[in-house]
Structure 1
Amino acid sequence: MKSDLLRNPAKMLLGGLSIALSMVGGAAGAAPAGYPNGPITMVIPWPPGGAADFMGRVVAARMSEKLGQPVVIENRPGADTIIATRRVAAARPDGYTLFLASSNNAVNATLHPDTESGFLQEFVPIINIGVAPTVLVVNASFPARTVPELLELLKKGKPNAYTYAYSGQGSASHVSAIQFTRRTGLEIMGVSYKGASPATVDLLGGHVNMMFNVVPAIAGHVRDGKLYPLFALSDKRLASLPDVPTSAEVGFPELKAGMWHGLAAPAGTPAGVVQKIEATVAEILKEPAVVEKMESQGAIILGSDARAFHQTIVRDTQMYKELFGAGGAAR
């Protein structure tokens, strides 16, 4: 006996469309009446002080005001963002637990295939907030003050005689360093940290020599003269560091890296909830005060909607598969 769907092709078509839309817009259904009627938790997979924490707190503060409920930040760093990812993936899909996803979630499909191969099966993208370009900075006592001086110093030294910090495998700082060493053919020893903030502390202390770091983590130290920027991996000069040359200006136009940060929710979150959060954050990202605050810290606002954000994750997942080999080794 044929099922109702097989006897009704139109119904079958609508059913398939509903499933497809749920992949980028959450499970079918409107937001529950009165949503939100309690606190929302935004889980950030990095420690306080980095670009992710900065972006998340700026958005969370305005969400609290616009939604009339507190949006509480929960920092869950560690394990290349896996600790936080697992925490949110297991949460109830009701819109009260959100995840500040990042480029790491695209690369983890390759670095940690056993547990992280299905981000888009476990999460619903909501909105891509922005991207934080990286800047190569050195400790103020480091002898090189320009890229040519750095290259000469590294070429004269023994392989791995100098060190660079990075905030976990697959992070923007890691990818930037891989691109730089591969482009220059230089061997520099990488030292991994749980986030940009602890890495910056060791860079300031002279325990590592250099780092490709995001602007929010270094801007104050650059202004205070404790860190020195050599170049930014960006298409144009950053408003927050206008005197720092771009990668193209120092002879590496192909070097471009930055980490995007966007909101996601556990799979199965009602589409109405996803749409309400997306619309709320989209409005926030257009506010002049928010734009000024973000740009002052080197962030570039994107505001990409759920569908565009979904496409970004798909594209970057493939890009990182091509960049990294098994076990996280760069190809």
Structure 2
Amino acid sequence: MRSLKKILATLLLAAGAAAAQAWPEQPITLVVPYTPGTGIDLIARQLSARLPAVLGQPVVVDNVAGASGNIGSEKVARAKPDGYTLLVQVNTLVMNKSLYKSLAYDPVNDFTPVSLTSWGTLLLVTNPNVQKATTVAQVVAAAKSSPGKLTYATPGVGTPHHLSMALLMQSTGTELLHVPYKGTAGAVTDLLGGRIDYMFLPVHVALQHIQAGKLRAIATGSDKRLPQLPDVPTLAEAGIQAGNVDMWYGVLAPKGTPAPVVARLNKEIGAILRQPEVATAFEAQGMVPASSAPGEFKDLIAKDAQRWAGVVQRGRITAE
């Protein structure tokens, strides 16, 4: 029996290696579970423009938006694990594991991580004409003096912007009133108009308003200060030790995708991310290119899922 199992295992391994050597033999689809024009969409289009030259097959982007990324993500989770259908996602993927109780797929365990592609930073900002706080300590003091009265906006329940503020409130024992919007545009409009007090915003969205004096940056959610805003401290420097709220972006394949295929994708994606023009395109969207080994990306996903599960549980946050 053991000999038969060994023979079968050897045959399966050989079949997988043969399939990987032939791969790719047809076009590859990068599924983006959000609308065109987002940072994730930009990543996919940078990859789709450059992968054909090294893989010898067309690479197309398929925007499958809806349900906070769950529709497109489920499509990839249910796809054949042959390397022809891939997912480009942000860390919302792991947040959704805790936010949604009735998903038809597992946002963490139904995928094979391929490679990290980049990091994005969120800034804690305020309208300087409404709130005079210039430090995190002052924000905390103001929130404690008026529990539940100061407001913060997000693009929606369960977004990184939302959970980042939830983490900040849990770390400081404060309570601000959550005002969720359907997207970033309306939230920013009301923040600029003085109808909202605070918000976590991506660097590329906030920077133009900060430079124009319409918003004030209080802290950066990264573990390092930003070169564009060297005088703005990190949350950790402000005393929030659990304050790194960077968003990761990456490429994933369906669970069971052959390891040689994953390795080839990882190698080619890593080479693309090192191209100067790709770095320039990413930086324009407030992202920093960053590749990783599949195993490193897997460990990051597992750690991040556990971290945000705690935030969701403590905040009793749910999304329908």
TM-score normalised by length of structure 2 = 0.81
Q: Give the secondary structure class of the aligned counterpart of 2:227.
A: coil
Conserved in 2, the CA contact under 8 Å of 1:77 and 1:195?
no
Residue 189 of structure 1 aligns with which residue? 177
**What residue identity is the alignment partner of 1:322?**
G
Deviations 1:232-266 (A, max 9, x none): 02221112333322123333344111111110122
* CA deviation after TM superposition for structure 1 residue 129, in Å: 1.0
Closer/same/farther in 2, CA of residues 185 and 127 from structure 1, 3 Å limit = same
Report 1:137-286 matches (<5 A). Answer: 137-139=125-127, 141-147=129-135, 148-157=137-146, 159-193=147-181, 195-196=183-184, 199-286=187-274
Take 1:69 and 1:223, find their aligned partners in 2: how far apart are those partners? 43
Take 2:228 and 2:208, find their aligned partners in 1: how far apart are those partners? 10
Residue 119 of structure 1 aligns with which residue? 107
Conserved in 1, the CA contact under 8 Å of 2:166 and 2:315?
no
Deviations 1:121-178 (A, max 9, x none): 4222111112212210123543325024434443443x32222123444433222201
Closer/same/farther in 2, CA of residues 74 and 248 from structure 1, 3 Å limit = same
Closer/same/farther in 2, CA of residues 227 and 44 from structure 1, 3 Å limit = farther
Take 1:73 and 1:192, find their aligned partners in 2: how far apart are those partners? 29
Closer/same/farther in 2, CA of residues 34 and 90 from structure 1, 3 Å limit = closer
Closer/same/farther in 2, CA of residues 267 and 249 from structure 1, 3 Å limit = closer
Take 1:305 and 1:321, find their aligned partners in 2: how far apart are those partners? 24
**What residue identity is the alignment partner of 1:110?**
S
**What residue identity is the alignment partner of 1:97?**
T
Closer/same/farther in 2, CA of residues 86 and 206 from structure 1, 3 Å limit = farther
Report 1:43-122 matches (<5 A). Answer: 43-64=31-52, 66-67=54-55, 71-115=59-103, 118-122=106-110
Closer/same/farther in 2, CA of residues 102 and 315 from structure 1, 3 Å limit = same
Conserved in 2, the CA contact under 8 Å of 1:29 and 1:271?
no
Take 2:61 and 2:5, find their aligned partners in 1: how far apart are those partners? 47
Q: Which range moves more in the overlay, 65-74 or 310-319?
A: 65-74
**What residue identity is the alignment partner of 2:205?**
A
Take 2:21 and 2:196, find their aligned partners in 1: how far apart are those partners? 51
* CA deviation after TM superposition for structure 1 residue 194, in Å: 5.1
Query: Gaps spanning 5+ residues in structure 1: where?
Result: 19-26
Conserved in 2, the CA contact under 8 Å of 1:30 and 1:271?
no
* CA deviation after TM superposition for structure 1 residue 186, in Å: 1.9
**What residue identity is the alignment partner of 1:119?**
P
Of all paired residues, the percent bearing the same amino acid is: 34
Conserved in 2, the CA contact under 8 Å of 1:46 and 1:195?
no
* CA deviation after TM superposition for structure 1 residue 34, in Å: 6.7
Closer/same/farther in 2, CA of residues 294 and 240 from structure 1, 3 Å limit = farther
Report 1:121-136 matches (<5 A). Answer: 121-136=109-124
* Aligned equivalent of 1:35, options 7, 21, 24: 24
Closer/same/farther in 2, CA of residues 171 and 207 from structure 1, 3 Å limit = same
Residue 23 of structure 1 aligns with which residue? none
Deviations 1:297-319 (A, max 9, x none): 44233311212112222222222
Conserved in 1, the CA contact under 8 Å of 2:126 and 2:199?
yes
Deviations 1:190-238 (A, max 9, x none): 2334554554454345453321122233233333444321110222111
**What residue identity is the alignment partner of 2:200?**
F
Q: Give the secondary structure class of the aligned counterpart of 1:146.
A: coil
Conserved in 1, the CA contact under 8 Å of 2:86 and 2:254?
yes
Conserved in 1, the CA contact under 8 Å of 2:127 and 2:214?
yes
Closer/same/farther in 2, CA of residues 94 and 258 from structure 1, 3 Å limit = same
